[in-house]
A = this chain, B = another copy of it.
Amino acid sequence: MTTQPPELELRETISQLTARVDALEESAGHHRLSIGVMSGNLDTTIAAFIIALGAVAYDMEVDMFFTFWATAALRDPKKSTPKKLLDKMFGWMLPRSSHRLPLSKMHLAGIGPKMIRSVMQSRGVKSLEQLMKEAAELGVRVHVCEMSMGVIGLKQEEMSDYPGIDYVGVGSFIQMISEFKQVVFL
């Protein structure tokens, strides 16, 4: 701005610019998406996996974080594990697997989810379980909130065999919020 800087100053300017671009690139989040899933309804869980698969098709890396009620969507109905009474009670009240998730609206004592599933099938939309299978094949990572499982009384032994599923602290989700390009919370 003032007098023309000598070449040394020019180099200094470029080196500072490079450092700033380094920092920006790190904070830009490398085209990664995190999907927080909390409500554990059939409709929101389907939406979460449709978004996940779509983002993979757009070359984003996708990490899903299942917390609170949504952890029950990952129960495997074929597995069971000995539990204390309180945990058993939670277990009875929570959906036994993705097949039993309620609708957020028009649940109608369980008729709503059956209707939606049947209509989706007749219209060629993939079922939640097919979406999950496809997500696994395409490398969508599934993380489950350990603290939530503890509160709700779920054990790792009764959870889905989703490939690479892991049980993590809240810090993992925060790291995604902090580092990824985008976060969507359902």
Which residues between 12 and 64 of chain A lie within 8 Å of chain B, taking CB atoms?
A: 13-14, 17-18, 20-21, 24-25, 27-28, 31, 33, 36, 38-40, 43-44, 47, 50-51, 54-55, 57-60
When distances are taken between beta carbons in the complex, the residues of chain B under 8 Å from A33 are: 177-178
A82 within 8 A of B: no
Shortest 10 CB-CB contacts between residues of A and residues of B:
A54-B174, A58-B178, A184-B185, A20-B21, A54-B170, A123-B150, A58-B174, A24-B24, A27-B28, A119-B151
> Chain B residues with Cβ under 8 A from A182's Cβ?
177-178, 183
Give every chain B residue within 8 A of A138 (Cβ-Cβ).
Answer: none
How near does chain B come to A19, taking the closest CB pair, in angstroms? 10
Interface of A is mostly: helix
- Copy tally for this chain in the complex stands at 3
Which B residues lie within 8 Å of A116 (CB)?
151
User: When the two chains form their complex, are residues A125 and B105 in contact, meaning their CB atoms are under 8 A apart?
Assistant: no
Task: Give the nearest-CB partner of A186 in chain B.
Answer: B185
